[in-house]
Amino acid sequence: MRIAIASDHAAVALKAELREYLIELGHEVADLGPETADRVDYPDYGYKLASVVADGTAEYGVALCGSGIGISIAVNRNPACRCALVSEPLSAALAREHNDANCIAMGARLTGIDMAKACLDAFLSTEFGGGRHAGRVEKLSTPAL
């Protein structure tokens, strides 16, 4: 799979570890930055991640910041992206199965490396369930009234 990963300064170390983990699993990984722990603004990296997922350059995205909240909001500003903030494998699997999430967000200050890897494994190994969920997912990309 082609996976893009991006973070803010608070999650640079987690991003580096997850990038290497994904490569070890055989995935093609695009690291969208940042490269250092110098202060940056998470929306810039969330928007960049959303752009490459929306245009098909990457099949999935991994968004990381201190809490995971801010960068997930930034990614979700793009109507082609469905970014789920997760903290354990069940929420990661349900994000794929029920919501057809194409991005996953985690907080480096809240999620350890082993749990983050478990979330990634669950997310990447779960297929969208379709069926009764398909119409709801379609509504997520339609402007609200």
81 catalytic per annotation: no
Residue 110 pLDDT > 90: yes
Across the chain, mean pLDDT equals: 95
9 catalytic per annotation: no
- Helix then strand then coil, % of the chain, to nearest 5: 50, 15, 35
Q: Which two tokens stand for residue 85?
A: 């903030």
Residue 19 pLDDT > 80: yes
Q: Which amino acid is at 104?
A: I
How is 81-145 classified by DSSP, letter by letter?
--EEE-SSHHHHHHHHHHH--SEEEEETTT--HHHHHHHHHHHHH-----GGGHHHHHHHTS---
d(CA 131, CA 136): 10
10: DSSP letter: G
Q: Where are the domains of the chain?
A: 2-140
pLDDT of residue 129: 83
Which of the following is catalytic: 65, 83, 103, 119?
65
7: DSSP letter: E
Instruction: Report the pLDDT averaged over residues 73-100.
Output: 97
Instruction: Report the pLDDT averaged over residues 76-103.
Output: 97
Which of the following is catalytic: 27, 81, 98, 119?
98
CA–centroid distance for 90 within its chain? 15
* Domain 2-140: CATH architecture, name and number where available: 3-Layer(aba) Sandwich (3.40)
pLDDT of residue 87: 96
CB–CB of 141/79 below 8 Å? yes
Residue 144 pLDDT > 80: no
The pTM of this model reads 0.95
Instruction: Give percent of the chain above pLDDT 70.
Output: 98
Choose between 129 and 78: higher pLDDT. 78
